[in-house]
Structure 1
Amino acid sequence: MAVESVNYQCPSCGGTMRYDGASGRLVCDFCGTAHLPSDIEAIYAARQASADASAEEASRRAEAGTLSEYEQMASGSGAAVALTDEVIAEAVDAQGADGADDPIASFLSRASWNESERAGLRSFTCSSCGASLTCDATTAVSECPYCGNTAVVPGTFVETARPDLVVPFKVDKAAATAALTAHYKGKRFLPKDFADANRIEHIQGVYVPFWLYDGTAEGSETFEARNVRTHRSGDEEITETDIYSVYRAGEVGFTRVPADASAKMPNGHMDAIEPFDYGSLVPFSLAYMPGYLAERFDEDAEACASRVHGRMRQSLEDELRASVRGYDEVRSGSLDAQVRMESVSQALFPVWMLHTRWQDGDYLFAMNGQTGRLVGDLPVSWGKVVLWFFGLFAVLCMVLSGLDFGFLQFDDTLASMLVDIGLPIVGAASICAVFYSQMKTARERSEAHEYIDADGLELSASQDTFIETRRSSRHLD
């Protein structure tokens, strides 16, 4: 028969429980009692261990092909599926072509609420109502659609797949929905009817797997630095530029740089909701899961390390550059760096995923379930972009033309045109660029500044060498 799930139900009345982030307890909405996660974990520990052992045994027998015909029928798909790395990889690859260039389409094709037939499906029995449930290879905690109980999928969080840490949810569903509505406000390029006409198709709290890396980036870079002086000599303006070669070498330590370990989750959304407050990290316990879904990793630590490697390297370069002080200009050279990954741990972080539709388009938003930070890409009304650009251009033209006529009074026609037309174009374009950036907030990160150790950059070498002075002159009318 199919392996039974472990459902974390109220010890007082057997009702459905949910973890309440505000109180830090598991709450029963039927009888109103509240329980500490540690108490619930103690109650269900033996049952969970037994279910995991049964699932692992079924997985081994499925892999060996020794399941009985009755057991194969009970699995729901003709045969039980052994949860091996190959099965997980096949499950991910089966959806690799769907929306390969579109993170929203890719997410929706893999999301539990939009499942289609694919490799790695597993079946188990709900221990509350006896229903036969099916989930994909990476679902660790699901919800029974028949009785509403949170069902921990047996055999998922075992051995190397068991997380070390978890950040419990703090933001509830109502707050996530309200935050999405608030997110629309002040967006000047948002289509007029988007906020009213779009609707939330799905909203789900998910514990997303992350790898947390400790490491060190060490390297050196030579910068070109300049100090510029200008003075007048007769009818000429003289500019003198001192050129320096500036060498810096050092290292930066990092603690718990995160990288999401789920192929379902768009990296841009997961990076953009950082940072999580690590002060709330607690040892992993399934008692924090009721009321939410949870995923196990399907991208291993080695596969995700390259993203973190790049972030550490960029942060080292930024720190080396920031150590170059006392110059008017600093130009980067070529960074020579090595990154050492020293340790890695696995954690589950709370994320609200919100999927909306508008005019046949899908829009995906993610909210940090601890801090409330919400990100996602909004549609852009290009008509509004044009109107704002020309409106800003007209206003800036009037202001700068007035200054030119009343105060500046350029004799040079080219200079006057630059002020009256060129600057308004640049100004209007810059303001519109800021407005546009507010519409597109789900972006992968290239640095890891928040995770630099308290010691910061430790310089091992610092040398500033004067190269030459360059002189130029300009005739003054």
Structure 2
Amino acid sequence: MPNETVNYHCPACGGSMRYDGELAKLRCDFCDSTFTVAQIEALYAQQQQRADSAAEATDEQAAAGTLSDYEVAGRVAGEGKRTVAESLADAREVSAHEVDPIKAFLDRASWNESERAGLRTYTCSSCGAALTVDASQAVAECPYCGSSAVVPGALTAGAKPEMVIPFRVKHDDAQAALASYYKGKKFLPKAFASNNRIAHIQGVYVPFWLYDSHTSGRASFEATNTHSYISGDYRITKTDIYDVRRAGSLAFSRVPADSSSKMPNAHMDAIEPFDYGELTDFSTAYLTGYLAERYDLEATECRAHVEQRMKHSMLDSLQATVTGYGNVSLKSGEAQVSWKDLHYALLPVWLLHTQWQGDDYLFAMNGQTGRFIGNLPVDKFKVALWFVGIFLLAAAATWAICIFLLDMADDSLLWPAVIGVGAAIAAGICWMFYAEMKTAHERSEAAEYISTPLELSEKSDRYVTTRVTRTHIERSNN
């Protein structure tokens, strides 16, 4: 039975091709020829058209009863598969009355035959990651855990990505970014930076659900204005207290949530944002030279994290409208999220994995913007040295200020001040150094994804009372 499959090989020499983000083209690894995605899609669309024509011819032969026994057996084995035209028609057909964004997406997203034929999947038997590559590429190591126990398999059913952001940052840029990331880290073990070598660097298209919503909320705040003055031997402080209420709504567009259970959410949140201006229609041509993981978390499973981010930003937006006060604090608030559209996209990420002293370290780099994050090991001995050194310097400076500028001769006040200030400064600086070592954090807000201005439906500022405090001023006998 006639059968043609689609693999992305170089039209010039037949070699394997790789997507070059800098050129925004596919480049041949052997003859260095370059082709646009549109050129490759057009070329292989012709191949698929020939494959479909061959299938139609086979149907005609079957109807005429002229197929051989071998062709009949092959035809039976392939029953149930749809043509490309049928798949594309189904993928674009979304009922006009559909209100569930998740079901609407799944109805319109499906793989066609040519895409399935041009892809291969691997499963890591160590961590379970499911990786997708073009059919000409082999996978030797898992980019998540570094295991070499990756097993090839067939592309399974699942929603096809609607959109993709192509890689822009190259492999060498990721390597250089890691070296730069090590610099200036005061608590980094010297052996880790000098002797440790990254075991694997891999460009991966990570699956993301992108959520649209209309979110409304209301909140109550306590706002205060404080002023003070001297009256005799007392400092009088008056605090005017107001009850402030706000309610309103706004829209969020394409808030991302990675849909891979193997990918740490903290890493993916920390490399945001991506520039959605470079989102383009999905094509398997962009996968050449890279891995692509299939989603294993449904949209309903991922949106709880997104919902919390939306609600947090909703309340932040309401609080931002409370102005003219010295201090504003949230008393109570609530927000409701109404889900709108849903998109499935592949976003580019460089993953760098290594092991050191029995622990795994995973670094991630935004394959579009170059933002680099990851958690580094901490040398406890260096922490102690830095703390003691900073403490001694800060304590000495505090002692000099107390003695020569403040004329503080009372030891019962002097030494607690010296020790307390020195320890506070040392702890603060060491905490800042430590925070530089741990840059992978889950995000709690989604401010940059707000797509419409806040519309206030309630705005109330009500004076409540004035709180007065009197503090006695100690006068010097001199």
TM-score normalised by the chain length of structure 1: 0.77
TM-superposition CA deviations, 1:300-354 (whole Å, max 9, x none): 1111111110100011111122221222222111212101111111111011111
* SS state at 2:395 partner: helix
Q: Name structure 1 gaps, 5 residues minimum.
A: 55-66, 72-111, 120-135
Counterpart position of 1:115: 124
Query: Equivalents in 2 of 1:183, 1:367: separation in Å?
Result: 11
Match of residue 331 from structure 2: 333
User: What's the CA shift string for 1:225-271, capped at 9, x where partnerless?
Assistant: 11111211111111111111111111221111001111221111111
How many Å separate the matches in 2 of 1:137 and 1:365? 19
Aligned partner of 2:306 in structure 1 is 308
Q: 1:411-433: CA deviations, max 9, x gaps?
A: 88776556423232222212211
Q: Does 1:36 align with 2:18?
A: no
The match for 1:212 is 210
Question: Is the Cα–Cα contact under 8 Å of residues 199 and 358 in structure 1 kept in the other structure?
Answer: no
Aligned to 1:292: 290
| Residue aligning to 2:456 | 459
Which residue identity does 1:216 align to in structure 2?
Answer: H
How far apart in 1 are the matches of 2:136 and 2:238? 71
- 2:212 and 2:225 map into 1 onto residues whose CA distance is 38
Counterparts of residues 238-257 of structure 1 (less than 5 Å) = 238-257=236-255
Letter in 1 for 2:459: S
Pair member with larger Rg: 2
Structure-2 separation of matches of 1:345 and 1:176: 28
Residues 1:446 and 1:173: Cα distance change in structure 2 (over 3 Å): same
Aligned counterpart, 2:132? 139
Task: Report the identity percentage.
Answer: 50
2: CA distance, partners of 1:382 / 1:142: 47
Q: 1:391 aligns with which of 382, 389, 392?
A: 389
Asked if structure 2 preserves the Cα contact closer than 8 Å seen for 1:197 and 1:358, the reply is no
Aligned residue type for 1:35: F
Q: Distance in 1 between matches of 2:10 and 2:284?
A: 14
Task: After TM superposition, give the deviation of residue 163 of structure 1 in Å.
Answer: 1.0
- 1:105 match: none
Number of the residue aligned with 1:473 = 470
Contact 1:141 1:295 in 2 (8 A): no
Structure 2 CA distance for aligned equivalents of residues 304 and 233 of structure 1: 60
Whether 2:367 is the aligned partner of 1:365: answer: no
For the structure 1 residues 321 and 410, does the alpha-carbon distance in structure 2 shift closer, same or farther, using more than 3 Å as the test?
farther
Indicate if the aligned counterparts of 1:4 and 1:154 stay in contact, CA closer than 8 A.
no
Q: Distance in 2 between matches of 1:391 and 1:146?
A: 49
CA contact (8 A) 1:261 1:298 kept: yes
Q: Report the alpha carbon displacement of residue 399 of structure 1 after superposing the two structures with TM.
A: 1.8
Give the match for residue 436 of structure 1: 434
Paired position in structure 1 for 2:98: none
Alignment of 1:48-447 (within 5 A): 115-116=124-125, 139=132, 141=134, 144-145=137-138, 155-156=155-156, 161-410=159-408, 416=414, 419-447=417-445
Q: Residue 170 of structure 1 contacts residue 369 of structure 1 at CA under 8 Å; is this kept in 2?
A: yes
Q: CA, structure 1 residues 153+291, in 2 after alignment: closer, same or farther (shift >3 Å)?
A: farther
Q: 1:463 to 1:38 in 2, by over 3 A?
A: same
Judge conservation of contact 1:200–1:354 (CA < 8 Å) in 2. Answer: yes
Amino acid at match of 2:266: G
Amino acid in structure 2 at the alignment position of 1:376: G
Residues 399 and 252 (structure 1), Cα distance of their counterparts in 2 relative to 1, 3 Å cut: farther
1:169-227: CA deviation from partner (whole Å, max 9, x where unpaired)? 00111111111111111111111211111111111111111111111221111111111
Aligned AA for 1:20?
D
Structure 2 counterpart SS, 1:312:
helix
> Which segment is superposed worse, 340-349 or 320-329?
320-329
Secondary structure of 1:335 counterpart: strand
Asked if the contact 1:142–1:294 (Cα under 8 Å) also holds between the matched residues in 2, the reply is no
SS in 1 for 2:172: helix
Give the Cα separation in 1 of the matches to 2:317 and 2:424.
31
Mapped partners of 2:325, 2:416: distance in 1? 29
- Deviation per residue, 1:17-47 (Å, 9 max, x gap): 1110111111112112110111101222365
SS at match of 2:179: helix
**Contact 2:403–2:409 (Cα < 8 Å) also in 1:** no
- The CA deviation at 1:48 is 6.3
For 2:20, the equivalent position in structure 1 comes to 20
How big is the shift at 1:281?
0.7
Question: What's the counterpart of residue 97 of structure 1?
Answer: none
Cα 1:334–1:386 shift into 2, 3 Å: same
Match of 2:319, SS state, is helix
Q: Cα distance, 1:361 vs. partner?
A: 2.1
Cα distance in 1 between the residues matched to 2:268 and 2:437: 17
CA distance in 2, matches of 1:272, 1:445: 7
Q: Is the 8 A contact 1:141 1:153 kept in 2?
A: no
1:7 Cα deviation from its structure 2 partner: 2.4
Aligned 8 A contact 2:222 2:329 in 1: yes
Q: Which residue of 1 aligns with 2:116?
A: none
C-alpha spacing 1:113/1:286, structure 2 compared with 1 (3 Å): closer
State which drifts further: 435-444 or 394-403.
394-403
SS in 2 for 1:257: strand
Unaligned runs of 5+ in 2: 56-72, 78-120, 141-151
In structure 1, what is the equivalent of residue 102 of structure 2?
none
* Aligned partners of 1:26 and 1:37 also within 8 Å: yes
- Offset of residue 137 of structure 1: 5.4
Secondary structure of 2:229's aligned partner:
strand
The answer on whether the counterparts of 2:352 and 2:363 sit within 8 Å (CA) in structure 1 is yes
Match of 1:450 among 425, 432, 448: 448
Contact 1:38–1:287 under 8 Å retained in 2: no
- Rounded to whole Å, the distance in 1 between the matches of 2:410 and 2:224 is 30
Higher alpha-carbon deviation: 281-290 or 324-333: 324-333
TM-score, structure 2 length as denominator? 0.77
RMSD (CA atoms):
3.1
Q: Could you tell me which amino acid in structure 2 is paired with residue 235 of structure 1?
A: D
Paired letter, 2:132: T
